[in-house]
Chains A and B, each alone.
Chain A
Amino acid sequence: MQTDKTRYWLLAAPALAVMIVFYIWPLVNIWAISMTEPALGFGNYVKMTESQAVQTSFVITFRVAALTTVICVLLGYICAYSITNVIRSARPLLIAMVLLPFWVSVLIRSFAWIVLLGRSGLVNDAMRDIGLIDAPMRLMHNEFGVVLAMVHVMLPFAVLPMMANMRGIDRAYTEAARGLGASEFTAFRMVYLPQTLPGVASGALLVFVLSLGFYITPALLGGGRVLMVSEYITYQIQEFLNWGLGTAISVALLVATALVLIVAARFVNLRSALLERS
């Protein structure tokens, strides 16, 4: 049997080796760079904590990610609930509408929002044509535009785990509560909602973690005015070639992400939220 075990490891080994050598090792190296360039020590981390710009960037990032998560959970819950419990015959259409953005690249979706929200974008043009506004409103290059487009990108990540969770809920409990005289809303609030919290938690976690490190949409819709951490890092590296500070901020962002996961592990079953996600 011992040799069988070796053979199973032989199957698993190539992917694991590739991942460790070409992915984990370069990540460790990022940390090494932050401690050695330009000089050995914690200099970059001191500089990072003293920098007002870095602090602002982290505050913006957490604010945008939190806002995106809250909106995604609210809208996603309504959508998942109505797909699971309300809409019957049009359900496949509704599911297709939720999944469509999943299969269209983030780049294309961000482009669509730029077309809609730009200074001479479709929304501004339409509102001027019907006389609602005189001068174009600023709908992007601010947090509003970034959050709107990010909600659009992240929403399916919230809907899918909630839908999977709701599908497994036995309606008998809610019906029993109704039979015992609870109003529909009370039965929902007291009986149904608590059962859906695991789905809500894994959806929220996924959206929050992905939002923390998101680059494309904030960079395109923010127009340099909503500098989230990922864009700030790129800026340090590409404009100033400041690898020391850039990698130090990267490590900070990684640690922040890890902390979120560790805290979340107390409320969310990480195994089913991440490892066994279907």
Chain B
Amino acid sequence: MSAPKTAPETVPGGPASAFRIAMGTGGWLVAAFLALPILVVIPVSLTDTSYIGLPKDGLSLQHYESYFTSARWLGGTAASILVGLAVALISTVLGAAFSIGCWFLGNRAATIARWVLIVPILVPPVVQSLGFYRFWVTLGLIDTWTGVILAHTLLALPYVSISVFAALANLDPKLPQAARSLGASVWRTVWEVVVPAARPGMITGAVFAFIVSFDEIVSVLFITVRRVETLPKLIWEGIQDNIDPTIAVVATVLVLVTLVLAGAVAVRRT
């Protein structure tokens, strides 16, 4: 269906050819491969069986009931949201200050500092989690919320610093210079000239930071024991036990929330 559809939409450059049709069809197939498997959790969440599978004799909301009445699942969900908000706040403040400082400095040392801040993107999650575990034991942070928020803040900082710095690429260095020569202090220049320019990057960074924290599982597996339970940890344990369709409910809720939020952002932009 998609192949003929691409024909009248060709970009200047010639009529529909076998090549364009193949690429267009391929593009749709790849996008379908990306999007569709995720949606499988929706029918499974509505199953009337007590195991993971498609509905047998009809749809049922029984697993939704067990999610929305389970103190453990709701507690984990609330905890992950709160941790994510804390991480978004802390890492955005730290990361924005960092990127603004580096942007002003603009020298080799600042570039090196920026590389240091993105190291967590490149280090394998298990390796960094071993590091966290040993150090958190020394600090007495194992199985504490502080420990989780600290670890997640470190993992979120690269994303905040990258997106704030990207936003500052559009700021003309002459503007803060002008503010300074008109007598504004460094802090006032930062607050009234640079921060407004960085704001889009800070918002993107905060969203990234929240998502990084909300989805993070590997470090949580290492630095928490029993007292601290986040949503990913409950999902992880649920998948290991393997039978409970409640995970499909959680997955459906998360996918739907994602779709709604993405849709809302798209509508606001247009």
* Contact residues in B for A185 (Cβ distance below 8 Å): 19
- Of B30, B33, B35, B232, the most chain A CB neighbours within 10 A belong to B30
- Indicate if B197 sits at the interface (CB-CB under 8 A): no
CA distance A188 to B100 in the complex (A): 42
A23, B105: Cβ atoms closer than 8 Å: no
A86, B217: Cβ atoms closer than 8 Å: no
CB distance from B126 to the nearest CB of A (A): 4
* Contact residues in B for A41 (Cβ distance below 8 Å): none
A87, B123: Cβ atoms closer than 8 Å: no
B251, A112: Cβ atoms closer than 8 Å: yes
A19, B117: Cβ atoms closer than 8 Å: yes
- Indicate if A269 sits at the interface (CB-CB under 8 A): no
Q: Which residue of A lies closest to B155 (CB)?
A: A23
Question: Given A108-B235, A108-B255, A184-B17, does the pair A23, B154 have CB atoms closer than 8 Å?
Answer: yes
**B contact face: mostly helix, strand, loop, or mixed:** helix
B251, A11: Cβ atoms closer than 8 Å: no
A257, B122: Cβ atoms closer than 8 Å: yes
CA distance A165 to B112 in the complex (A): 25
CA distance A23 to B119 in the complex (A): 9
Chain B residues bordering chain A, tally (CB within 8 A): 95
**A contact face: mostly helix, strand, loop, or mixed:** helix
Q: Which of B169-211 contact A (CB under 8 A)?
A: 169, 180, 186-187, 190, 211
A11, B100: Cβ atoms closer than 8 Å: yes
- Indicate if A25 sits at the interface (CB-CB under 8 A): yes
Please give the residue numbers on chain A whose beta carbons come within 8 Å of chain B beta carbons, in ascending order: 4-5, 7-16, 18-20, 22-27, 29-30, 33, 75-76, 78-79, 81-83, 85-90, 92, 94, 96-101, 103-116, 118, 120, 122, 125, 152, 155-156, 171, 174-175, 178, 184-185, 188, 209, 212-216, 220, 229-231, 233-234, 237, 246-247, 250, 253-254, 257, 261, 274-278
Closest 9 CB pairs of A and B: A213-B124, A82-B27, A11-B101, A12-B101, A26-B131, A15-B98, A105-B215, A97-B31, A88-B9
Known: A114-B239, A215-B125. 6 other contacts (CB 8 A): A26-B132, A88-B11, A103-B258, A112-B38, A155-B34, A215-B124
